[in-house]
Amino acid sequence: MPKILIADDEPEIAELIKRYAQREEYETVEVSDGVQAIEICRKEDFDIIIMDVMMPETDGFKACKEIRKIKDIPVLFLTARGTEYDKLFGFEVGADDYLTKPFSPKELMARVKVIVERHKKSPQNKGSGIIKFDGLEIDTLGRNVFVDGEKIELTQKEYDLLNFLVINEGIALSRDKILNGVWGYDNFGDDRTVDWQIKLLRGKIGKYRDMIQTVRGVGYKFEK
């Protein structure tokens, strides 16, 4: 039975999520602040964390960063903070998804299901070994990326996004196609999620950012 950690200081929200999760046959554990979330992750394993950003003691962003140091657990931020900066920062600290309050519990559980299922599977890479585009080097076995010989730190989702673009080199991909290929979302995706992650990824690959091209009216493509 998949296990969810619910970290939210609003009892009504936590109870709502718990109720819907248990209907889907998930086991749930609830905590009310970031410190508790970090501590319980040291002791127990979870298939996903649903994390509020605004919590006492330690906020969700800081808690996510600390948890990432000790466990590879997918994190879905659930919060009233819906600004572009907050979402970008959430993805930068390693979030897999971001849903703004008020939210649909059914949509939340649909996203949870997709994230849990995709996390269980090994990433699908085209071949194995090293893929090079000038000074941009992708080690598909080690899931590492290098820019001019220097390793850059990518979140799991940033790597998956880059890998998806690369294995579809030269193909114009719609945002919906990218959402479905990287996040697994068909009906519940948010186009802006792709745009935010592309922006972060471009920033990290530096002078090779132009290899990720914007295709007007369609989406993006990777091309040397």
- pLDDT at residue 121, as a whole number: 61
Whether residue 134 is found in the same domain as residue 218: yes
How many domains does the structure of the chain reveal? Answer: 2
Higher pLDDT, 3 or 70: 3
| Structure confidence by residue, pLDDT tens digits, 46-59 | 999 999 998 988 89
Q: What is the pTM of this model?
A: 0.70
| Structure confidence by residue, pLDDT tens digits, 140-179 | 878 899 999 999 999 888 999 999 999 889 999 999 899 8
Q: Last residue of some domain: 85, 120, 155?
A: 120
Cis peptide before 102 (omega within 30 of 0): yes
Please report, for the domain that includes residue 183, its CATH number.
1.10.10.10
Antiparallel, parallel or unpaired: β 75-79 and 27-31: unpaired
Whether residue 71 is found in the same domain as residue 162: no
- pLDDT at residue 125, as a whole number: 41
57: left (phi over 0), alpha (psi -120 to 50) or beta: left
Whether residue 79 is found in the same domain as residue 160: no
- pLDDT at residue 122, as a whole number: 46
Whether residue 116 is found in the same domain as residue 143: no
Whether residue 9 is found in the same domain as residue 116: yes
pLDDT at 112 over 90: yes
